[in-house]
C-alpha cells in the first residue's frame, strides 16, 4: 500500500478487497476507481485551459509578487469532473438513504426549494446592492420572520445568526445586555446534563460559569434540583425541548415560572423544534429566547459543515436587545436597520444572514402550509415511535416511551457481548446505513440516538429496522468478528477520529 506525504494510504493500491476475494489487477474494485488526492493526480505543467502567454508588463506590487509556481494541480476538465464525481460517490447523504443521526434532523430537501433559491432575483444579488433594488429579497426575509414569529408565538426575531450555535450566542448576548441594562451582574448559566455541547460552550464563551442540572429517572430535568440551584447569581437557564433524549419536558411551564421568579432568563435550544411545529408554541411555554435551526426544521441541505441558519426569536423582555440588522417596512417599502439603535447589543455578521437558507425555508413553509407543517411534526414523531416500538425487544430503550422525534437506546443490550456502541455503529455501515448518533447524550451509557424524521416511508423504516434487528441478534449470538473489524465494505476502515479532530492535517505538502 502506498502512502501519500500525509501518511494516508492512497493510489490504486489503497483499495482493499474483501477477505477471500481476488485482488483486482488494477486495484480498482466493483466499478469504483481508486482515488488519489487531486494534487497527486494533476501536475503543474498540465492545464484544462489554454491561456496566452502574458506579455511583459510592469509589476506594481512593490516586490510582493509571486516568484515561484503557484503549485495548484492542473487537470483537464474531464479529469477534474471525474475526480470530484468519484469522491462524491463515496459520500453518504440524505439523497441516498435513511440518515438516522439523532439531534440533527436530516430530512429530505424538496427540489422546489433549490429551484427557488436559484432564481436570479435571489441567487444573483449582492448584499451591498442598493436596498431599492432588492425589495423582493427584503420582503422575503420579512415574510419568513413573520412565519417564525407566528409558529413560535414570539414577538420578535433576529434573522442574521448563521447556525444554531451562533443563535445561542445571539440569545445569550441579548440576555447579558438585558441584565447589564438593569445593572445586574449575574455570573452563572444552568444547563441540564443532557444538553448539547454548544449550550455550555456558548455560556462559557459569553463569560458565564456553567453549572449542570441533573436529570430525573425519567430523563427530564430534575425541577427540585433546578429550584435549589436558582438564585440571584443565575443569569439564564438553557433547556432543549423536546430534550436530547427525545422527550418532552412536561414540567416546562413550571420550570419557566421558577426561572422568572429568580429573575433569570429562559433560553430554549430550539434544535428539536421539528417535533412540535404546529403543536406547541415556545412563546406559550415561557421562553425568552430560542434559536431555530432553519437547516434542521425547515429543510436546507446541511452536514459536512454546509450552510446553516439560526434565527433567534425573542420575548417582550428581550426584544429590545436584539442585534441589527433587521428589516422594517414603511410607506416607501422595506428597509434594513443597519446601525445599532437603542438597547440593541450590536451586530453579529457582516451582512444580513444566509439568504439562500431563507429562500429554502420559506419555500418549504409555503409548500407545506400550516397544516402540512403540523403534519410533518406528527409524522416525524410517529416514525420515531415506530422505530422505538420495533426495536425495544432487541435493543434497550433508555426511557419509557412514547418518545418525541427521536428514539434513544443505550448499550445494555450489548452487555457481555464484547461489542460496543462504536462497533455496532460501524457494522451499520456494512449494512448500507449511516450510523445513528452515538455516545450522545451523555446521560446514558453508550447512547444510540435515532431520528428518522418524517421523510422516511414505512417500507424504508422496515428495511432499516430489519438490519438493526439482524445486528442486535448477531451481537447477542457472539458474532464478534462481524463487529470488531467493521466496516468491512467501506473504502476506508476505522479512522483515528480523535487524532483527526485534535491534529487535523489540512494542508497538502509536496513530497519528494
Q: Give the binding site for ligand PLP (CB under 6 A).
A: 103, 163-165, 196, 198, 240, 244, 269, 271, 293, 308, 310
Residue among 164 and 446 whose Cβ is closer to ligand PLP: 164
Residue among 42 and 308 whose Cβ is closer to ligand PLP: 308
Give the list of residues 6+ apart from residue 81 with CB closer than 8 angstroms, or none: none
Largest CA distance in the chain: 79
Residue of 116, 118, 151 whose CA lies nearest to 369: 151
Give the list of residues 6+ apart from residue 255 with CB closer than 8 angstroms, or none: 221, 223, 226, 237, 239, 249, 266, 286
Residue among 97 and 307 whose Cβ is closer to ligand PLP: 307
Residue among 109 and 244 whose Cβ is closer to ligand PLP: 244
Shortest Cβ 48–ligand PLP spacing (Å): 36
Shortest Cβ 271–ligand PLP spacing (Å): 3
Shortest Cβ 153–ligand PLP spacing (Å): 20
Residue among 310 and 356 whose Cβ is closer to ligand PLP: 310
In angstroms, rounded to a whole number, what is the distance separating the alpha carbons of residues 246 and 161? 25
The grid coordinates listed for 296 are 434542521
Residue among 294 and 318 whose Cβ is closer to ligand PLP: 294
Residue among 390 and 455 whose Cβ is closer to ligand PLP: 455
In angstroms, rounded to a whole number, what is the distance separating the alpha carbons of residues 292 and 152? 9
Residue nearest ligand PLP by beta-carbon distance: 164
Phi, psi of 450 (to 5 degrees): -115, 120
Shortest Cβ 387–ligand PLP spacing (Å): 18
In angstroms, rounded to a whole number, what is the distance separating the alpha carbons of residues 10 and 196? 36
Shortest Cβ 251–ligand PLP spacing (Å): 19
Which spans in 341-354 are helix H? none
Place of cell 438513504: 97
Shortest Cβ 308–ligand PLP spacing (Å): 4
How many residues in total does the chain contain?
512
Shortest Cβ 245–ligand PLP spacing (Å): 11
Residue of 237, 159, 233, 245 whose CA lies nearest to 199: 237
Amino acid at each position: 500500500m502506498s502512502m501519500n506525504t500525509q501518511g494516508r494510504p492512497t493510489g490504486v493500491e489503497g483499495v482493499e478487497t474483501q477477505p477471500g476475494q481476488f485482488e483486482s489487477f488494477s486495484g480498482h474494485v466493483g466499478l469504483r476507481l481508486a482515488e488519489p488526492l487531486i494534487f497527486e493526480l494533476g501536475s503543474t505543467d498540465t492545464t484544462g485551459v489554454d491561456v496566452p502567454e502574458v506579455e511583459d508588463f510592469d509589476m506594481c506590487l512593490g516586490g510582493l509578487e509571486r516568484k515561484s509556481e503557484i503549485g495548484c494541480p492542473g487537470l483537464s476538465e474531464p479529469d477534474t469532473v471525474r475526480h470530484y464525481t468519484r469522491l462524491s460517490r463515496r459520500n453518504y447523504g440524505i439523497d441516498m438513504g435513511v440518515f438516522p443521526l439523532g439531534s440533527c434532523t436530516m430530512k429530505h430537501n424538496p427540489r422546489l426549494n433549490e429551484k427557488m433559491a436559484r432564481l436570479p432575483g435571489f441567487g444573483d444579488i449582492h448584499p451591498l446592492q442598493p436596498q431599492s433594488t432588492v425589495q423582493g429579497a427584503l420582503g422575503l426575509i420579512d415574510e419568513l420572520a413573520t412565519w417564525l414569529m407566528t409558529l413560535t408565538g414570539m414577538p420578535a426575531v433576529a434573522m442574521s445568526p448563521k447556525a444554531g450555535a451562533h443563535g445561542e450566542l445571539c440569545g445569550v448576548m441579548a440576555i447579558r445586555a438585558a441584565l447589564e441594562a438593569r445593572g445586574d451582574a449575574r455570573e452563572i448559566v444552568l444547563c441540564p446534563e443532557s444538553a448539547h455541547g454548544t449550550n455550555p460552550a456558548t455560556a462559557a464563551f459569553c463569560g458565564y460559569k456553567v453549572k449542570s442540572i441533573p436529570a430525573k429517572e425519567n430523563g427530564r430535568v430534575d425541577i427540585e434540583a433546578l429550584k435549589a440551584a436558582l438564585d440571584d447569581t443565575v443569569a439564564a437557564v438553557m433547556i432543549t425541548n423536546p430534550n436530547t433524549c427525545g422527550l418532552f419536558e412536561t414540567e416546562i411551564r413550571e420550570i419557566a415560572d421558577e426561572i422568572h421568579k429568580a429573575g433569570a432568563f429562559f433560553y430554549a435550544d430550539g434544535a428539536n423544534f421539528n417535533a412540535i411545529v404546529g403543536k406547541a408554541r415556545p412563546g406559550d411555554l415561557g421562553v425568552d429566547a430560542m434559536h431555530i435551526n432553519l437547516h434542521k426544521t425547515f429543510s436546507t441541505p446541511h452536514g459536512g459543515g454546509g450552510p446553516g441558519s439560526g434565527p433567534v426569536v425573542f420575548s417582550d423582555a428581550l426584544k429590545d436587545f436584539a442585534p441589527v440588522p433587521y428589516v422594517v417596512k414603511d410607506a416607501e417599502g422595506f428597509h434594513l436597520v443597519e446601525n445599532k439603535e437603542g438597547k440593541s447589543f450590536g451586530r453579529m455578521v457582516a451582512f444580513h444572514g444566509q439568504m439562500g437558507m431563507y429562500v429554502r425555508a420559506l419555500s418549504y413553509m409555503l409548500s407545506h402550509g400550516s397544516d402540512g407543517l403540523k403534519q410533518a411534526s406528527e409524522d416525524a414523531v410517529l416514525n420515531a415511535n415506530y422505530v422505538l416500538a420495533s426495536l425495544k425487544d432487541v435493543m434497550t430503550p433508555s426511557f419509557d416511551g412514547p418518545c418525541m422525534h427521536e428514539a434513544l437506546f443505550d448499550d445494555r443490550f450489548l452487555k457481555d457481548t464484547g461489542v460496543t456502541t462504536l462497533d455496532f455503529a460501524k457494522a451499520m455501515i456494512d449494512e448500507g446505513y449511516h450510523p445513528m448518533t452515538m455516545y450522545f447524550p451523555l446521560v446514558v451509557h453508550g447512547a444510540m440516538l435515532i431520528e428518522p424524521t418524517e421523510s422516511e416511508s414505512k417500507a424504508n423504516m422496515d428495511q432499516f429496522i430489519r438490519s438493526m434487528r439482524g445486528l442486535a441478534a448477531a451481537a447477542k449470538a457472539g458474532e464478534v468478528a462481524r463487529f470488531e473489524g467493521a466496516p468491512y465494505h467501506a473504502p476506508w476502515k476505522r479512522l483515528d477520529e480523535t487524532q483527526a479532530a485534535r491534529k487535523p492535517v489540512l494542508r497538502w505538502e509536496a513530497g519528494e
